Amino acid sequence: MSWPTVRVGDIARLNYGKALKADARQPGKVQVFGSGGVVGSHDSALVDGKSIIVGRKGSIGSIWYTEASSWAIDTAYYIDESSSQADLKWLYWTLKSLRLGEMNKSAAIPGLNRDDVYRLAIPLPPLPEQRRIVAILDQADALLSRRRTSIAAVEALNSQLIDNLLDQVSETRRLGDLAELITKGATPTTLGFAFSESGIPLVRVQNLVRGRVDTTVDAKFIDHRTHDALGRSKIRPGDVLISIAGTVGRAALVRNSDPEMNCNQAVAIVRLTDHLDPAWLAAWLNSRRGQTAMNGSAVTATISNLSLGSIANLRVPMPTARRLDEFRTVISRSETARRSLTVSANHLDTLFASLQHRAFRGEL
């Protein structure tokens, strides 16, 4: 199917949002959007009716859609029904396919220039075809969302079961007495090294996700020479990683399947002796009790920091053999369910990407 090619600027106008500081917002039900999504609420709207919000500063190129009246602040653009000749939901899916996040024009603060967006070429199907594409993509997205919701439900149930187990353990020991190493990494550039395009993943706070290390999130790499120079912060399977600056208290267990990694100065490495299961430690750190213990040790100033000494002084519950067996059973069952759901979600992600590609080429 052949459709005419147009520029984004031919069919849409990106309007600047308007500043609305948190202390100026009044209680209300109108969602306030920034570049990263909803940042609060207000009692009046800047944009009436449905709109697309596009990240301009910060989370550049992020795309959000709302059916309700809203307020877009000055870190975002918005496109409302008066600003486009196209079906807005179709335009939303089209913009999401254009990878606007790669169009950064500012080295210091990420920024998206709307003139660059206007120059992008896209195929323009007739309005009825736009709506047919929207119906197909919305249905596929709803299925994917349900799968992600199922994964979140499994993780929530797992957390509740683990919290219950942890609450039944009263004996504690000082973490420093159970560890052979508690250290942290460094930022390579402060030591005269540079990042590389590929190589060894450098773990940062954002890579500690729901008890795991996800090196695909905002990936950074160092070469093998830098990795060897930063030998003390080489990460091994069985290590427990903790975020200690900015967002304090995220914990992740390094698994055998994880790649060789290093970390920066905002991530601590805890390497245990054989007196404690690292999976138990990671679970406790992410539990209510562990979070309370860590946040009580954080130094609150402009930014929160958790010192290595504070980590060493944490009192960790020591499970009996029976409790540890119960814990491992819960973890095993949860992992099996989560793995199955994740494989399904990843498969749906791939199918959805293919569906988007075909939709905008007129192949549906």
Say whether domain 127-169+319-364 belongs to CATH 1.10.10. no
Beta carbons of 117 and 105 less than 8 angstroms apart: no
Look at residue 152 and tell me whether its pLDDT is greater than 50. Answer: yes
Distance between CA atoms of residues 333 and 305, nearest Å:
35
Percent of the chain clearing pLDDT 70 (strictly above): 94
Which amino acid belongs to residue 155?
E
Distance between CA atoms of residues 268 and 266, nearest Å:
7
Say whether domain 172-318 belongs to CATH 3.90.220.20. yes
Mean pLDDT, rounded, for 220-234? 93
Confidence category of residue 309, pLDDT binned at 50, 70, 90: very high
Mean pLDDT of all residues belonging to the chain? 88
Mean pLDDT, rounded, for 2-22? 94
- Write the CATH number of the domain with boundaries 5-124: 3.90.220.20
Strand partners, 101: none
- Joined together, the tokens standing for residue 153 give 């439900």
Torsion (CA) 331, 335, 337, 340 in degrees, nearest 10: -170
pTM beyond 0.85: no
The DSSP line for 3-34 is: --EEEHHHHB--EE-----GGGPPSSSEEEEE
Identify which has the larger pLDDT, 127 or 160. 127
Q: Return all residues near 288 (Cβ < 8 A) that are at least 6 apart.
A: 163
Look at residue 328 and tell me whether its pLDDT is greater than 80. Answer: yes
Identify the three-state secondary structure at position 261: strand
Look at residue 215 and tell me whether its pLDDT is greater than 70. Answer: yes
Look at residue 298 and tell me whether its pLDDT is greater than 60. Answer: no
Provide the pLDDT for residue 247.
87
Question: What distance lies between CA 15 and its chain's CA centroid?
Answer: 27
Mean pLDDT, rounded, for 114-134? 93
Confidence category of residue 106, pLDDT binned at 50, 70, 90: low
Mean pLDDT, rounded, for 353-362? 70
Identify which has the larger pLDDT, 324 or 31. 31
Provide the pLDDT for residue 73.
96
Identify which has the larger pLDDT, 5 or 168. 5
Backbone angles phi, psi at 284, to 5 degrees: -65, -40
Which amino acid belongs to residue 217?
V
Provide the pLDDT for residue 253.
96
Closest by CA to 91, choosing from 45, 57, 123, 136, is: 123
Identify the three-state secondary structure at position 92: helix
The residue assigned the tokens 């791939």 is 350
The DSSP line for 33-46 is: EETTEEEEEESS-S
Q: Which of 141-145, 183-187, 349-353 has the lowest mean pLDDT?
A: 349-353
Distance between CA atoms of residues 311 and 175, nearest Å:
7
Mean pLDDT, rounded, for 114-142? 92
Provide the pLDDT for residue 42.
96
Mean pLDDT, rounded, for 105-122? 81
Backbone angles phi, psi at 277, to 5 degrees: -75, 125
Numbered ranges of CATH 3.90.220.20 in the chain: 5-124, 172-318
- Joined together, the tokens standing for residue 31 give 């969602």
Q: How do residues 200-214 score in pLDDT, each as one tens digit?
A: 999 999 999 989 999
